[in-house]
Amino acid sequence: MFGFRTQEKTFSPSLAALGIVERSAAGAYAALLATGWSEIGFGYHGTVHAHPDHPNVVVRFARKADGFGDYAALLRKGFAGSNGPHAPRIYDMHVSRCGALMTVGSRLTNPAHDIWWLAYAHAVIADHPGVAMDDGVRDRFKVEWPAHEPRVDHASFDGIREAFRATWPGYETYVAKLRAVSPQGLDPNIGNVLVGSDGSPVVNDPLCDDGYGLWRSPLSRVLTRYAEVLRRLAGEALGRSPVPA
């Protein structure tokens, strides 16, 4: 439920500058805790850590490079709006040889549960043109915001939609640009919109959990896919081998 926020380019702490040396999948989590980086949030693969000596910075650690790694790679590459108020800023990013991902960014806050624009900000992310929303996702929306159906064109957003667009005219454009460059559909999880220091909605972690490897070079991605095909073929071959009587 925590994430990263765009700040001035003059403030760019790296993992090395923060004294974070251990970055392996096996040891990084324990090392972070041992050096005072307490866990303040978690997801399917990742945890987010804060340190009292660095109150404006958080470190995210994942034992496997996941969808957040893809999002970070897209932001570092740059696209329309990626330096704006609705995009997180990634200061540093490291992927270990075993695939663990560590990123550094500035700290965001959770939005108030009853904030007037929250349901609409999520609905914009959830609006996949031509794709029906998963029932489980729809149920989560109903539990969190029973007064709002998670559809951008629903009548319950009348008034809220117009006020939101007037307050943050670039938000929907940012989400549309992100959707255009993303290798997969956006994830409308209820924890994927956080709040920046200026009160603006920030799209925090909108890509689905399985990473596409956008942080790797094109050659590395090709080699990885080739290796995965070989492993799958080898497994199928072993599965077809005769079983001793």
CA angle 199, 122, 204 (to 5 degrees): 60
| Tokens at 216, concatenated | 């790797």
Residue type, 84: G
- 233 versus 75: which is more confidently predicted? 75
C-alpha 162: how far from chain center: 27
Cβ burial 178-206 (10 Å sphere, 16+ → b, else e): bbeebeeebbbbbebbbbbeeebbbbbbb
Q: How confident is the model at residue 189 (pLDDT cuts 50, 70, 90)?
A: confident
Query: Which percentage of the chain shows pLDDT scores above 90?
Result: 38
Q: What is the mean pLDDT of the chain?
A: 82
Residue 104 near residue 90 (C-beta atoms within 8 A): yes
- 211 versus 51: which is more confidently predicted? 51
> Any residues with CB less than 8 A from the CB of 72 and at least 6 apart, and which?
90, 93, 103, 215
Give the model confidence (pLDDT) of 147-180 as tens digits. Answer: 777 777 777 788 888 999 999 999 999 999 999 9
Residue 177 near residue 80 (C-beta atoms within 8 A): yes
| Tokens at 64, concatenated | 């496997």
> At which residue do the structure tokens 């990634």 appear?
90
| Secondary structure of 138-192 in HEC code, one letter for each residue | HHHHHHHCCCCCCCCCCHHHCCHHHHHHHHCCCHHHHHHHHHHHCCCCECCCCCC
| Tokens at 52, concatenated | 């009292």
Using DSSP bridges, classify how beta strands 38-42 and 54-62 pair: parallel, antiparallel or unpaired. unpaired
> At which residue do the structure tokens 């972690």 appear?
205
Residue-wise DSSP of 35-103: TT-EEEEE-SSEEEEEETTEEEEEEEEESS--HHHHHHHHHHH--TTTTSTTS--EEEEEE-TT--EEE
CB neighbours (10 Å) of residue 68? 27
Give the model confidence (pLDDT) of 96-154 as tens digits. Answer: 888 889 999 888 999 988 888 998 898 888 876 555 666 777 787 888 888 777 777 77
